[in-house]
Amino acid sequence: MFLAHYGVAFAAKRAAPRTSLGALAFAAQFLDELWPILLLLGVEQVRIVPGIMAMNPLDFTYYPWSHSLVMAIIWGILIGGLYFLLRRYGSGAWTLGLLVVSHWFLDVPVHGRDLPIWPGASSPKVGWGLWNYAPFPYIIEFTIYAVGISVYARATRARDRIGSWGLWAFVLTLAIIYLASSGPPPSERVLAWSAMLLWLFVPWAWWVDKHRDYVRRFRNIDGIGKLE
């Protein structure tokens, strides 16, 4: 998954309006942001095997510290807890923690049986393998992405041109990267360094969000307007 993680981050703005989109995007993609660092350090391993899956040439041979369910939960607790210590905003802390964990569950449908439950050789591995069935990953990715963007766009309002054009440039750039990344990378090291570019989207999302205002909405309950 790629676009779906950002889609969930966009939608999460509704649950934590005081939390920056940059922080939400960071949390939703944290496992993939951590992964290339561990690859470059030699802690985790991947092989490039063209044809191993129809839509993904990567054999994720060893990545329990970034992509096991147990570690995703631990990372979520750490990130959510740190955010709470810094911001004292409970909704934001819970949302960030859940976004980190959501990454693992969104990966399950498309990955082969390579996602471990816990670190260690005895861990079972899961994955439904939809990367072997070309139309379905595209449908899932773009559906979640579109819904998330819609939720964010309705929950916020552009304060200026940066808040408007910057958002749609961000959205379009992510979609182009997803559609253009079909071929196998030349080496595992190039793959790791290119994956490090995910970190650039964190300040971009933060910058865009700084130029948008959260829109408070009213609900009508028994004829009385209630502020959400």
pLDDT tens sequence across 132-185 = 998 999 999 999 999 999 999 999 999 999 999 999 999 999 999 999 887 899
**Is 80 exceeded by the pLDDT of residue 113?**
yes
Mean pLDDT of the chain: 94
- What integer pLDDT is reported at residue 182 of this predicted model? 72
pLDDT tens sequence across 59-68 = 999 999 999 9
pLDDT tens sequence across 22-40 = 999 999 999 999 999 999 9
- Residue keyed to tokens 């054999």: 59
**Is 50 exceeded by the pLDDT of residue 226?**
no
Closest CA to 28 of 84, 80, 82: 80
**Is 70 exceeded by the pLDDT of residue 130?**
yes
The percent of residues above 90 in pLDDT, for the chain, comes to 91
In whole angstroms, give the CA distance from residue 144 to residue 156: 18
The percent of residues above 70 in pLDDT, for the chain, comes to 95
Residue 125 backbone phi and psi in degrees, to 5: -125, 145
In whole angstroms, give the CA distance from residue 15 to residue 18: 9
Assign 48 to helix, strand or coil.
Answer: strand
- What integer pLDDT is reported at residue 1 of this predicted model? 86
Residue 218 backbone phi and psi in degrees, to 5: -105, 140
pLDDT tens sequence across 184-193 = 999 999 999 9
Provide the phi-psi class of 222: left if phi over 0, else alpha when psi is between -120 and 50, else beta. Answer: left
- What integer pLDDT is reported at residue 217 of this predicted model? 63
Residue 82 backbone phi and psi in degrees, to 5: -65, -40
Q: Are 58 and 36 in contact (CB under 8 A)?
A: no
Q: Are 21 and 205 in contact (CB under 8 A)?
A: yes
**Is 60 exceeded by the pLDDT of residue 228?**
no
Pull the structure tokens for residue 158: 């552009």
| Domain ranges across the chain | 3-227
Closest CA to 35 of 7, 4, 8, 61: 61
